[in-house]
Amino acid sequence: MSINFEFVSEYSGWDVEKLNKIAEKVSEATNTKLRLPKCASVAVLLCNNAKIQRLNKDFRASDKATNILSWPIENLRAASSGQLPNLAINPQLGDLAMAYEVCFSESRLGQIPFRDHLAHLLLHGTLHLLGYDHMEDTDALIMEAIEIEVLAKMCISNPYIINEEI
């Protein structure tokens, strides 16, 4: 099954047409790796730093801008660390919010093509909606392995390898 990403832009910096193309590739790449409900959908708010900082403060008690936030429809987290999350049945997986300035800054600082960074964040946020997490090391290894594999299908390098110049 594939994922239908629905974008709502509140910030003029976002290019929704390009993001739709990136989202199609993320959806195709996840199709063979993740077990998704038929007609799975994710709503994505495209905003600026100020908006995501307010959301982060309101929902996570963290008064700072971040790249992406997620609100799953269901709690699919595994009962204990190191296990796979429960399977989603509801086709509405949940909502994401992405901040343009943070995403753009991260891609420039990491010398990562912006489209590749956005693909990674869409995948990362979607995995959170599906119950994956990275708070515990064992869970992070599971989540990151999926990200690395799916991104490789899109010819995107492992985002967890730090490019250090010698």
The pLDDT value given to residue 166: 43
Is the pTM of the predicted complex or chain greater than 0.85?
A: yes
Tell the residue number behind the tokens 């490019």, with chain if given.
Answer: 163
Q: What is the pLDDT of residues 90-136, one digit of tens each?
A: 999 999 999 999 999 999 999 999 999 999 999 999 999 999 999 89
Q: What's the average model confidence in pLDDT over 4-9?
A: 98
Sheet holding 3-9, edge to edge: 3-9, 40-47, 92-99, 68-72
- Higher per-residue pLDDT: 2 or 69: 69
Q: What is the pLDDT of residues 59-99, one digit of tens each?
A: 999 999 999 999 999 999 999 999 999 999 999 999 999 99
Domains and CATH numbers, the chain: 3-153 (3.40.390.30)
C-alpha torsion sign, points 118, 123, 126, 132: negative
The pLDDT value given to residue 162: 67
Contact between 105 and 5 under an 8 Å Cβ cutoff? The reply is no
Short-list 128, 63, 76, CA closest to 97: 128
The pLDDT value given to residue 150: 97
Mean pLDDT (the chain) is 94
> How many angstroms separate the CA atoms of 27 and 113, rounded?
19
